[in-house]
Structure 1
């Protein structure tokens, strides 16, 4: 009976960043967020990572490129592809994300229509710009944001 041994950590963070396409800063952030186990330390305090860590970072990068939240990525990372219940959980996670994407798509289509209408207000032939005028009018009509940021809530 052979026993599988986990690959030894052998790559420094810069090499792992290059191999995975994830910056060293993001690797540290994913460690902090619990998406990646912190790298083992050499005697000189350099972090070391394994080939499995590189794969995990590529997986995270792929999910993030699909606009998945850290919680969605965390859920998918915790699943085992050999268990039927985990397959259902992955499908549920993807369905929820798809619902978010569809909602965001509708928001973007409404934004596009709004921007086109705004663009149509000015052809550059008047003495002043009606686009800038309309933006100033909208800014004055905006209520103060409850949280003080004035920025809409984002998914990630």
Structure 2
């Protein structure tokens, strides 16, 4: 059995993160000491590493809860997990396309302005954004 600090170090997270994951229902201590200190087993370290890796792949804590629930569900199969991963990938692709569109819009603004010492009243970027704002409010 390990203390919260040791488990956090072993999993590469902070003790505060571990406590937060506990309040979110992602893990629980295996037991408590008579003084009330939480004790964790090696499964907690494995679970924390799973959560950390899933977060790095773009999964939210809600998504991770769903993945963990599927892992425990007898009737679930690999296809259920695969479907969740495909859904997450599609969400990320949508966000990437939105970011690409924003980048193209910024490119257009950058190309509209030569820079220089003109007053901001004559700035083509601010002018274009102002026109966009007026058109959006119509």
Paired residues for 1:3-152 under 5 Å: 10-38=1-29, 40-80=31-71, 85-129=76-120, 130=123, 133-134=126-127, 137=130, 141=134
Larger deviation: 72-81 or 126-135? 126-135
Return the alpha-carbon distance in structure 2 between the equivalents of residues 21 and 40 of structure 1. Answer: 21
Deviant stretches of 4+, over 4 Å: 138-143
Larger deviation: 37-46 or 96-105? 37-46
Structure 1 spans left out of the alignment, 5+ residues: 1-9, 144-156
The structure with the largest helix share of the pair is 2
User: RMSD between aligned alpha carbons?
Assistant: 2.7
Per-residue deviation, 1:23: 1.9
- Change beyond 3 A, Cα 1:47–1:126: same
- Change beyond 3 A, Cα 1:64–1:119: same
**TM-score, with structure 2 as normaliser:** 0.79
Partner secondary structure for residue 78 of structure 1:
helix
Return the alpha-carbon distance in structure 2 between the equivalents of residues 135 and 20 of structure 1. Answer: 49
Return the alpha-carbon distance in structure 2 between the equivalents of residues 49 and 139 of structure 1. Answer: 56
Return the alpha-carbon distance in structure 1 between the equivalents of residues 31 and 53 of structure 2. Answer: 24
